[in-house]
Structure 1
Amino acid sequence: MKTQRERSSRRMDWLVFNLRWLVLIAAGLVVMSTRESSTGTVAITLLAVTGLYNIGLTVLEFVEFGHRYFVWGLLAGDFVLALSLFATTGGSASPLIWMGLLPGLTAALRHRQRVGMGVIIAFTLLQAVIIVFTEGFTGLIPLATTAVILWPLTFGASVVGQRLQDLLRAAAQKEQQARDDQVQLLRKQARAIYEMASTVSATLDYRKVLDAALNIGSLPAESKHASVYPSVVSAVLFFDEDQLHVASARRFPPVDHRVVCPGREGVLGQVIRTSESAVISDPVNDPELQQFVAFRGCRSLMALPLRAGFETHGVVLFGHARVDFFDQDQRAFLEAVVNHAVTALQNAQLYRNLNDEKERLVEVQEEAQKKLARDLHDGPTQNVAALAMRANFVRRLMERDQKAASEELFKMEDLARRTAKEIRHMLFTLRPLVLESQGLVAALKQLAEKMHETHGQNVVIEAEPDIEDKLEMNQKGVLFYIAEEAVGNARKHAQAEHIWMRIKTQRDVLVLEIQDDGVGFNVGAVQANYDKRGSLGMVNMRERAELLNGAVKIDSTEGRGTRITILVPLSESAAVR
């Protein structure tokens, strides 16, 4: 990495190169205007060589080749070339007697004052020696006249050069400080993002993450004109009853915490509709944000949506007094911060959904246990009690009438067989092994057979070919239990002669229909009083269908039977529809 001195030296070198080109161009114009063709030809040749030399030095300067020794070599080359031009163009009568300006300016601007004056004095002395040996002392008069002009000019150039070097060094120092501040800010932001990610992974309380987001959002203001402008004003607005309320804020007066926004106009409405962040100037003119006192001192504001999945929970606002505060870097940083807050919202929502699902599964299990207890009580338990009473009756009857006792034993045998069938039917509905081995259609057919054997109920199965290939195992299990619940309800309450179960697909939606020709019922009246009933059959069906992102539709008319339709999406697009 370059030091501040190196950066300022590079800038001074480019200034020297530009001045050298001006001197060389001026020398070329002077030589071309001379009348002595032989002298002019030699001078132009030397100037061409000097130009190529200057181009080469420019390339070396651009690639930063050997900078420490390069500047002294540059000075020596200028000295030799300028002296050669003077000597070959006529000595004291040379139109280039002033060429000492080339090394003089190089030394005065690039080095210290004494170096510049030393170079111009040494150059003048060498010119004097050449004149004395070639022309005599009479040629020193033009040289003296030139020296009177060049020496003060070189001195002034050295003063200006020193001042320029100080200014360039100060500018380089300021740039370095700005770079250091930017690096420090980036480190703080990276550390803040890391800490926020740790907070997201360590807690399910999204409000803690939102508070951390507001605190981190103030980081950019700590290094950007912190002494001139106030800190960032920020707030989190959450939806509650279709209105945006202040959930948390920084540098908000108490009156602003009571402000409620509809979220339909201005930047709030734009962010909620597009689900993209937006930056505005003068939020005091915004139709909804103008209610906030805290934003009246802000000249720029950034709004970011809190959107998790397909639901927008609210908006995060950051305001500042600088109109250009939210540049591209700050926008990217704040968007990263809010994205972590959105992740926390999603985690909290998933955790809440998981808890709800867990509670619903527990309720379904409890209802299944209650149903089993009711079925055992209404069926096998009563039958076993009846068997015990009849066994006692037969024991006494055998002492008086063995023929009647034999007939009673036949009745007991029939009751025992029916009880065994009911128990096997209950075991089948609890865990139908055929569902795992042969699939849903086979399980429904076996359910129909057992309903006929056990209860004498006619159940007809109509299944679309290859329906099994479109279903996963968990879907088959849930659909079977829904069908068993619906058929059981129809058998108990509908007084139906026939029950039909139809399973098919419509586009990418599975349709399961359970229809009977029973007495029917008033759907609205039954659902209105369902919480007062002991059975929760329809609730169970709906909750099981929701496990598959499905829905249950019940159509019934008194005297015309009932039809229950279960719709289960087989793809994500169908679930959205």
Structure 2
Amino acid sequence: MISIDLIQNLAKHIPQLSKSFIDFDPGWLVSGMPFLLWIGDRFRRENANSSMQYSSEADAKVQNQRLRDEVERLRSLLLMIANLNSTLNYERVLEMTLDLAHNALEDTGDSRLVSALMLFSKDDLFIASARGLPQADLRVTLPGSSGILGESLGNVQTHITHDIRNDPELRRFVSLHQCAVAITLPLVVGLEIYGLLLFGHPEGEYFSQDRVEILEAVAQQSMIAMQNAKLYRDLEQEKERIAEIQEEARHKLARDLHDGPTQSISAIAMRVNFARRLVQRDPNQAGEELFKIEELARRTTKEIRQMLFTLRPLILESEGLVAALRQLSEKMEENHEQKVVIETKDDVADDLEMGKQGVVFFIVEESVNNARKHAKASHIWVRLRRKGDLLYLEVEDDGAGFDVESVQSNYEQRGSLGMVNLHERTELVNGIIKIVSKPGRGTKICVTIPVTMEAAEDLHRHGFAG
């Protein structure tokens, strides 16, 4: 570890060092620890060398100047680390990682060093950032399953090869044909492998132990910065997605108000005006008209209550998901004469978080409305069962059905957001959705919802479980 005594001892001889540490916010030191460990080791070696007795004053001056130059270079690297850790732009982090690696190596003026940062996209590695590679190499994608890449990713360790031309994957890089040595460093956080760093150089002995340690520190440092930037990017994307869902909810509410209560209230106003003119001319007919107005007002009240229920059913918070589903069934029967059969046990979702219960309810509500409006189903079945830490939801109807593959391939272009809402709400509960349907044979929507984080990880590792 880097000791305060070491820093203070070296600071007595190298005044610039104290200024270097004063310039930095202590908060970034935690995330910069991998690189600082390497710097601390370098300081120990330099401090040991500086304590030697020199044969002449000239030798001492040369050594002191070398120490000053080394401290200044390390201070420059500290600045780069601080900038890397403070950058939340993911693409910028990738570029800065290679800049840091090139500057950390002693021969900063050596332009023969080639490098690439490769990340996984599905099952293949692609070049996310590079230095010294021609355009043809930038388009190369590799499986990372054989040669030095396969070894490095397989045992999650740094590997060096002097046989680049015979490597089954590295030989595809034209720029590496001029290199005598190549080194790969895996980029790993926990059990997740993001990709690797690749460096090559014409000198066979270029990657000394010291330089390997530098690059390993850079790899660790870059993974911390990449993970922070990725989390920030995912958060921004999630905020945008939530904003889109809220905007669509507002649009849906506006459409429902326009097509339902607004039309009904307009009709009530017209009928009241008509009844007012009938009062003196034909009281009996005016009474019949008032009766029709009353029926229309009652129907409008039901529509508004149904809308309020679907927006936020109070019974969901007071009695839970199963009670809310049963009330949804009753309201569908009362307002639309739609048969919705609920098949579940009372305690099936008792330990499910209230937020997740709300999402599951809206998945059911969306599916039931789609079946009623578009499939013209006579019957709709909602089944909810529990197996271990997984909750299984099925919404089945005997309606018209549709071609799932055709709809899913272009639903975004068609502007129909029913399918989008189902998929996005399933993602909110870390679930997996599967839709089975054929024209004329009804539709079945199956959603698997994990109750715990461990179940979520296992579910996404093995795929749909129904």
Q: Please indicate the TM-score interval, normalised by the length of the shorter structure.
A: 0.7 to 0.9
Q: What is the RMSD of the two structures over their aligned residues, measured on CA atoms?
A: 3.9
Specify the alignment match of 2:458 in structure 1.
Answer: 573
Specify the alignment match of 2:159 in structure 1.
Answer: 278
Residue number among 200, 205, 214 corresponding to 2:89 in the alignment: 205
List aligned pairs for 1:379-394, cutoff 5 A: 379-394=260-275
Identity value in percent: 45
Specify the alignment match of 1:370 in structure 2.
Answer: 251
Name the CA shift for 1:563/1:290 in 2 (closer, same or farther; >3 Å): closer
List aligned pairs for 1:412-427, cutoff 5 A: 412-427=293-308
Name the CA shift for 1:202/1:569 in 2 (closer, same or farther; >3 Å): same
Deviations 1:194-228 (A, max 9, x none): 43442233212345444544444356753xxx79x
Specify the alignment match of 1:486 in structure 2.
Answer: 367
The CA distance in 1 between the partners of 2:317 and 2:73, in whole Å, is 55
Q: Aligned partner of 2:364: which letter?
A: A
Contact 1:230–1:320 (8 Å) recurs in 2:
no
1:550 aligns with 2:431: yes
Contact 1:204–1:347 (8 Å) recurs in 2:
yes
Name the CA shift for 1:193/1:545 in 2 (closer, same or farther; >3 Å): farther
The CA distance in 1 between the partners of 2:332 and 2:251, in whole Å, is 21
Residue number among 112, 118, 125 corresponding to 1:238 in the alignment: 118
Deviations 1:286-314 (A, max 9, x none): 45545667656755432113456745345
Three-state SS of the structure 2 residue aligned to 1:453 is helix
Q: Aligned partner of 1:195: which letter?
A: L
Per the TM alignment, residue 419 of structure 1 is displaced from its structure 2 partner at its CA by 0.6
Q: Aligned partner of 1:446: which letter?
A: Q
Q: Aligned partner of 2:375: which letter?
A: A
Specify the alignment match of 1:135 in structure 2.
Answer: none
Per the TM alignment, residue 362 of structure 1 is displaced from its structure 2 partner at its CA by 1.8
Name the CA shift for 1:403/1:334 in 2 (closer, same or farther; >3 Å): same
The CA distance in 1 between the partners of 2:126 and 2:384, in whole Å, is 46
Task: Provide the TM-score with structure 2 as the length reference.
Answer: 0.73
Name the CA shift for 1:487/1:289 in 2 (closer, same or farther; >3 Å): closer
The CA distance in 2 between the partners of 1:202 and 1:266, in whole Å, is 36
More helix by share: 1
1:340 aligns with 2:221: yes
Per the TM alignment, residue 395 of structure 1 is displaced from its structure 2 partner at its CA by 1.5
The CA distance in 1 between the partners of 2:166 and 2:54, in whole Å, is 42
Three-state SS of the structure 1 residue aligned to 2:350 is helix
List aligned pairs for 1:136-535, cutoff 5 A: 191=75, 194-218=78-102, 222=106, 233-238=113-118, 242=124, 244-245=126-127, 247-249=129-131, 252=132, 260=140, 262=142, 264=144, 265-283=146-164, 285-290=166-171, 299-307=180-188, 310=192, 312-319=194-201, 321=203, 323=205, 325-327=207-209, 330-527=211-408, 530-531=411-412, 533=414, 535=416
Name the CA shift for 1:185/1:274 in 2 (closer, same or farther; >3 Å): farther
The CA distance in 1 between the partners of 2:75 and 2:345, in whole Å, is 59
Task: After superposing the two structures, state which structure 1 stretch, 563-572 or 208-217, moved more.
Answer: 208-217
Structure showing greater Rg: 1
Name the CA shift for 1:388/1:285 in 2 (closer, same or farther; >3 Å): same
Contact 2:77–2:104 (8 Å) recurs in 1:
no
Specify the alignment match of 1:104 in structure 2.
Answer: none
Per the TM alignment, residue 384 of structure 1 is displaced from its structure 2 partner at its CA by 0.7
Specify the alignment match of 1:103 in structure 2.
Answer: none
Contact 1:217–1:337 (8 Å) recurs in 2:
yes
Contact 1:284–1:296 (8 Å) recurs in 2:
yes
The CA distance in 1 between the partners of 2:128 and 2:365, in whole Å, is 50
Name the CA shift for 1:343/1:189 in 2 (closer, same or farther; >3 Å): farther
Three-state SS of the structure 2 residue aligned to 1:494 is coil
Name the CA shift for 1:389/1:324 in 2 (closer, same or farther; >3 Å): closer
List aligned pairs for 1:44-193, cutoff 5 A: 191=75
Deviations 1:140-164 (A, max 9, x none): xxxxxxxxxxxxxxxxxxxxxxxxx
Unaligned runs of at least 5 residues, structure 2: 1-51
Contact 1:236–1:316 (8 Å) recurs in 2:
yes
The CA distance in 2 between the partners of 1:478 and 1:269, in whole Å, is 42
Task: After superposing the two structures, state which structure 1 stretch, 564-573 or 260-269, moved more.
Answer: 260-269
Per the TM alignment, residue 524 of structure 1 is displaced from its structure 2 partner at its CA by 3.8
Three-state SS of the structure 1 residue aligned to 2:349 is helix
Task: After superposing the two structures, state which structure 1 stretch, 392-401 or 266-275, moved more.
Answer: 266-275
Specify the alignment match of 1:564 in structure 2.
Answer: 445
Per the TM alignment, residue 245 of structure 1 is displaced from its structure 2 partner at its CA by 4.2
The CA distance in 1 between the partners of 2:408 and 2:111, in whole Å, is 58
Q: How many aligned residue pairs are there?
A: 402
Deviations 1:218-273 (A, max 9, x none): 56753xxx79x968724114359846448322xx3868866846354432343344
Three-state SS of the structure 2 residue aligned to 1:563 is strand
Three-state SS of the structure 2 residue aligned to 1:469 is coil
Name the CA shift for 1:201/1:186 in 2 (closer, same or farther; >3 Å): same
Q: Aligned partner of 2:116: which letter?
A: V
The CA distance in 2 between the partners of 1:178 and 1:470, in whole Å, is 72
Name the CA shift for 1:304/1:434 in 2 (closer, same or farther; >3 Å): same
Unaligned runs of at least 5 residues, structure 1: 1-167
The CA distance in 2 between the partners of 1:246 and 1:351, in whole Å, is 18
Per the TM alignment, residue 454 of structure 1 is displaced from its structure 2 partner at its CA by 2.0
Task: After superposing the two structures, state which structure 1 stretch, 489-498 or 377-386, moved more.
Answer: 489-498
Name the CA shift for 1:184/1:392 in 2 (closer, same or farther; >3 Å): same
Deviations 1:21-64 (A, max 9, x none): xxxxxxxxxxxxxxxxxxxxxxxxxxxxxxxxxxxxxxxxxxxx
Contact 1:302–1:326 (8 Å) recurs in 2:
no
Name the CA shift for 1:244/1:425 in 2 (closer, same or farther; >3 Å): closer
The CA distance in 2 between the partners of 1:436 and 1:369, in whole Å, is 22
Task: Provide the TM-score with structure 1 as the length reference.
Answer: 0.60
Name the CA shift for 1:421/1:203 in 2 (closer, same or farther; >3 Å): same
Per the TM alignment, residue 429 of structure 1 is displaced from its structure 2 partner at its CA by 1.2
